Structure 1
Amino acid sequence: MIVVHHLENSRSQRVIWLLEELGLLYEVKRYERDRKTMLAPPELKAVHPLGKSPVITDGEVVVAESGNIIEYLVETHGGGKLIPPADTADRLRYRYWLHYAEGSVMPLMVMTLIFSRLAPMSPALLRPLMRAIEGKVKTAFLGPQIKLHLDYLESELGRSEWFAGPEFSAADVQMSFPLEAAASRGGLDASRPRLATFLQKIHARPAYQRALAKGGPYQLLR
């Protein structure tokens, strides 16, 4: 039996969604974040040494990292679903988006979150300095980089309805989290209509709704 070790408000939500899209049987084991640090609880280290989510177990097999989990589930249990045909341009695009999501755009979302917390978590006397540092980083680096990537993604969805071609695939599942993060804290709004429509379409999918019901409340950290 596949078990999703599901940390609240995390990347593991899209693993549950993928399992629903594939129609596979699975169990969800829930973990709550530490209310002070918002980090994963130490119990997750019993599953994987890094103690992070997402991670799944499939019998004796332990699989971590979002892209790796998605590839494992699709290739091992997918029966050809949610993946473009081999040796096609769409398969190459599919593989690209699986890696791009966490390798290129998600680090910018994480940095945005970290810098937004510098001032609130600092001693009162240091908060003006921390706000100044945050502002400089956002103006000089994060803002321009996020704009560059969102413009790129908007243009890519002009090539086809979904990221890897005309058909919905697991690449769209992988891309969901960074785009939801961008909508939450990265400036993604209706000014980029293709990306806004993408989010609307995935949120309306029955499997996405079932995943929300099974995974519990889902709200990205700000």
Structure 2
Amino acid sequence: MITVHHLNNSRSQRVLWLLEELGQPYEIRSYERDPVTMLAPASLKAVHPLGKSPVVVTEDGLTLAESGAILETLTERYGNGRLAPAAGSPDAVRYRYWLHYAEGSAMPPLLLKLMFDRIEKAKMPFFAKPIAKGIAQKAKDAFIGPQLKTHLDFMEGELGKGEWFAGDAFTAADIQMSFAVEAARARGGLDASRPRLMAYLERIHARPAYLKAVERGGPYSLLK
């Protein structure tokens, strides 16, 4: 059976969702973030040297890391033509693009936003606080904010070409993109001004497999 090494409130939620969509049996080994640092526990390094989640071990002993690679591999192995467009089709090109765009382009500015928000709130000597807040705010105003707007506008426009990111059919690319869109809703400025992205979130949150994955994986604070 497939084993998912699942960290709370992390990208591994997407792996659970994919497996639910595929109807593929799996077991979960759960890990909790450090409540102060929010980092994964050191015990994950026993599974993969980077000590990050998600990590999946297949029934034949293959260890997989990186959520995009995991989703692509599991879909190829167990999809039987589901959740991916036919090879060589125009939608297949879009599908592969969004599988890579999610982490390669969409997540970096969202991660920077999270880091600089934390810098503003971090404990430090009183004389350093105004300097740190000023630097953080300037970085967000000059670079991070405009980057987030550019990406959100791009995603909103692309969803105008079809109901889902890779076309009119739901695919694993939508599962991969979900974390970025949910992160944008939680902390990146995504709101009702971009109705296609908001409708996309409503559609994925209503999918039975999504709900089952959240039930099995535990509370998912990015939904707040």
1:134 is aligned, of 123, 133, 136, to 136
TM-score, scaled relative to structure 2: 0.97
Residue-by-residue CA offset, 1:55-92 (whole Å, 9 max, x unaligned): 10013110000100001100011111100011011000
After superposing the two structures, state which structure 1 stretch, 169-178 or 111-120, moved more: 111-120
Q: Cα distance, 1:221 vs. partner?
A: 10
Aligned to 1:8: 8
In 2, Cα distance between equivalents of 1:221 and 1:87: 35
Does residue 77 of structure 1 match 2:78?
Answer: yes
Structure-1 residue corresponding to 2:44: 44
Identity %: 60
| Partner Cα distance (2:21, 2:151) in 1 | 27
Match of 2:179 in 1: 177
Task: Tell me the alpha carbon deviations over residues 7-46 of structure 1, each in whole angstroms, 9 at most, x when there is no partner.
Answer: 0000000110010001100001100011111100011001
Q: 2:75 is paired with a residue of what secondary structure?
A: helix
Partner in structure 1 of residue 208 of structure 2? 206
Spell out the pairing of 1:120-199 with structure 2 (5 A cutoff).
Answer: 120-125=121-126, 126-199=128-201
Contact 1:182-1:188 within 8 A present in 2 as well? yes
Name 1:107's counterpart in structure 2. 108
- 1: distance between equivalents of 2:45 and 2:93? 34
Q: Is the 8 A contact 1:122 1:130 kept in 2?
A: no
Distance in 2, Cα, partners of 1:65 & 1:145: 24
- In angstroms, what is the RMSD of aligned CA positions? 1.2
Q: Which moved more, 1:188-197 or 1:52-61?
A: 52-61
Aligned residues: 222
> What is the alpha-carbon distance in structure 2 between the residues aligned to residue 17 and residue 137 of structure 1?
35
State the AA in 2 paired with 1:8. N
Letter in 1 for 2:85: P
Secondary structure in structure 1 of the residue aligned to 2:174: helix
Aligned to 1:55: 55
Please identify, of 89-98 and 113-122, the stretch whose mean Cα deviation from structure 2 is larger. Answer: 113-122
Contact 2:117 2:136 in 1 (8 A): yes
Partner of 1:95: 96
Q: Which amino acid aligns with 1:213?
A: E
Separation of aligned partners in 1, 2:44 and 2:131: 36
Q: Within the alignment, does 1:35 sit opposite 2:28 as a pair?
A: no
User: How far apart are 1:161 and its partner, in Å?
Assistant: 0.7
Contact 1:5/1:54 (8 A) holds in 2: yes
State the match for 1:66 in structure 2: 67
Distance between the aligned counterparts of 2:158 and 2:223, measured in 1?
27
CA contact (8 A) 1:9 1:221 kept: no
> What amino acid maps onto 2:79 in structure 1?
G
Aligned residue identity for 1:140: A
